[in-house]
Amino acid sequence: MADRVIELAHLQKQFGDHLVLRDINLSVSKGEVLSIIGASGSGKSTMLRCINLLETPTSGNIFFNGKNITDRDFNLSQYRAKVGMVFQSFNLFNNMSALKNCIVGQVSVLKRSHAEAEETAMKYLRKVGMEPFINAKPAQLSGGQKQRVAIARALATDPKILLCDEATSALDPQTTQSILSLIRDIHDRLGITVIVITHQMSVVEQICTKVAILDNGTVAEEGAVSDVFSAPKSKAAKALVYPDGYDQDAVVADNETVVRIVSVSYTHLTL
């Protein structure tokens, strides 16, 4: 219990008559890299937006380090300052340089001095390899460079959790590998907890330690990536791991260990 950074308890989200999230119960421990995957419309992005309270849950509770963030008297500004967000579309200010994009939130939300905010921004722009481009505006940067700036901006608030919503889906394969390596390196060096929304199974395999599979607004299966991918139990998980319908039980003799190897081209998988 003590190491749970985020816990969702009986979370539900409804838009009109459409129930998007149905009684979600899920926890994320400190230092984990959790991937939330599922078919289009399964509720992945809605769940992430609820975690950051960009969407207000219809019912249920969300706990951050044991405190209920859905309580009316909870300080949302302080909470959001501890949660970094990286979007698919980068969400950078087009009229600001890379450096200023990483400064503005610190000054306006965290009330840091401009000098402190600039020092922190430079620290993380160096970490993501963008120091040579601090004066460039988004229009002058490639997709991968924009995402690096977006990651630096998210880290500049010193978050405890990094939320990534399809952070690599708009990038080419080579740039995707670069960003994945960066996220993995940030996790390893800073010990930050990461929650990733993706439809790219290769992302899950490369950087995630735990996976939760959503199906029709519910958690169909969750567990260590190696366990779920080697022996999926739910119908939804099997559909992702065996997209061609391969699902054969291995015959195992006594005292033998079977390692199931799944070879699938995930890069172009559309969910």
CB burial of residue 82 (10 Å; 0-12, 13-18, 19+): middle
Q: How long a stretch of residues is the chain?
A: 271
Using one digit for the tens of pLDDT, what is the confidence trace for 54-72? 999 999 999 999 999 999 8
Q: In a structure prediction context, what are the per-residue pLDDT tens digits for the chain, which is 271 residues long?
A: 458 999 999 999 999 999 999 999 999 999 999 999 988 888 898 999 999 999 999 999 999 999 999 998 898 888 888 899 898 888 899 999 999 999 998 998 888 999 999 999 999 999 899 999 999 999 999 999 999 999 999 999 889 999 998 888 778 888 888 888 888 888 988 889 999 988 778 888 888 999 999 999 999 999 999 999 999 999 988 888 887 765 444 444 455 544 444 444 333 333 3
Residue 223's pLDDT is: 94
Using one digit for the tens of pLDDT, what is the confidence trace for 134-169? 999 999 999 999 999 999 999 998 899 999 988 887
